[in-house]
Each structure stands twice: as structure tokens, then as C-alpha cells.
Amino acid sequence: MLQTLPRMISLEGGEGAGKSTVIALITKVLRELGESVVQTREPGGTPYAEDIRQLLLADHIEAPAKDVEVLLMFAARAQHVRKLILPSIAHGAWVVCDRFTDASFAYQGAARGIDLQKLELLNQQFVGVQPGLTLLLDVDVPVGLARVDARGDRDRIEKEPAAFFEAVRQGYLTRAQAEPERIRVIDANRDPQVVADEVREIVTAYAQRHLSA
């Protein structure tokens, strides 16, 4: 069984969903409530895990095999949990994370074809925790990729074809359907202010229920 961390909020979504803006908003909302917040990301979050991130996202001549990719993702995540996430929560802070394990089920599972049971085994053995709340920014793939193009250069994973990201999106939605209490789906095709208002409402209500957790 995974340990649920009530004071951890993760943010998920495909490319161009607007995560950078929303994660800053989540952090702001929690701080307005007087809470200490650690904002982090995956893969990465600690110096060691950030080194793994560079291996994963750099556009090398030799791309990692899909099972190597997933093992590196979970290695970075295990380090992240032990060296940053759990210590931060133990010291009374909230942790707001740009992507967590749900991303592996969407990207490496649904899109790369890694067996979901193998991912769950890695999750249980080497991660062992899950956020109390996950916000999934759901955006139509053409809309998201157009936003990525407008932003500039793509990393290795962002260069995958549209069909890959359609599979990612469906993987995320399947996860959300299976865990509706933890994963809240937000339509990120809408005006950014409308999205922000919904995020603020959800996070404020959730945090007020768990301020003493």
C-alpha cells in the first residue's frame, strides 16, 4: 500500500498544458494561507535527481531504451522522495511537485507500452508514497503542441509525434477515472484566468481541510 501524503500536491498534464503557471499559483495560494511550501519537479528536485533529468531529456545520439528510461525515472523519483519530499513534510512544509508517479504511468506506461503492473511494482517498492491531491491539466494535444512550438526548442520527449501525446493524454485520463478522489481533472483548453480560478478554489478548499495534517 502506498502512503498518502496529505501535505503533498502534484500537478500533471501533457505538453503545453500550462503547468509552469499553475504550479506557481498553487505555491502562492498555500503561502497566502500562511504555510511553508517547497516547490519541486520531476524528474529532478535534488542535485542527484537533476543530473538524471539531464540524461533523460537531453537529445543524445543514442536514445535510452524504454525500460532504461523508466528505471532512470524511478531512480530519480526514489532519490527525490527520500532526500527532499519526506524531509520537507517532516519539517512541516507542504510539497508542490510538477509531475510525480502518475506521469510514469502516462508516459512510460500508456505511451511507451511498459507493463502497468511492472510500473506499480516499482512504485510500491521504491517510491511508496502518493500525493494527497493531484491536479491534472487536460489539454487537447494539438492545442498543447502549438503552445510548445510557440515557447521554443523541444526537449527529447517533446519531440515525440502527436500520437505519442494522445496516448499520454488517455493514460492520464484513465488514471483520473480510477482515482477520482485524488486526481481532479481541469480543462486547460480554457482561458488561463478561468483555469487559475478553478485551481485556486480547489487548492484552497483542500488545504483548509488539511492544515493540521
Tell me the C-alpha distance between 80 and 46, whole Å.
6
Q: Is 18 annotated as a binding residue?
A: yes
Tell me the C-alpha distance between 83 and 72, whole Å.
16
CA nearest neighbour of 30 among 2, 57, 9: 9
Tell me the C-alpha distance between 104 and 125, whole Å.
15
Strand runs labelled E in the chain: 3-13, 37-41, 94-98, 129-138, 183-187
Q: Is 132 annotated as a binding residue?
A: no
Tell me the C-alpha distance between 143 and 192, whole Å.
13
Q: Is 14 annotated as a binding residue?
A: yes
Tell me the C-alpha distance between 58 and 28, whole Å.
31
Q: Is 16 annotated as a binding residue?
A: yes
158: DSSP letter: G
Q: Is 50 annotated as a binding residue?
A: no
> Which segments are annotated as binding site for ATP?
13-20
> Which segments are annotated as binding site?
13-20
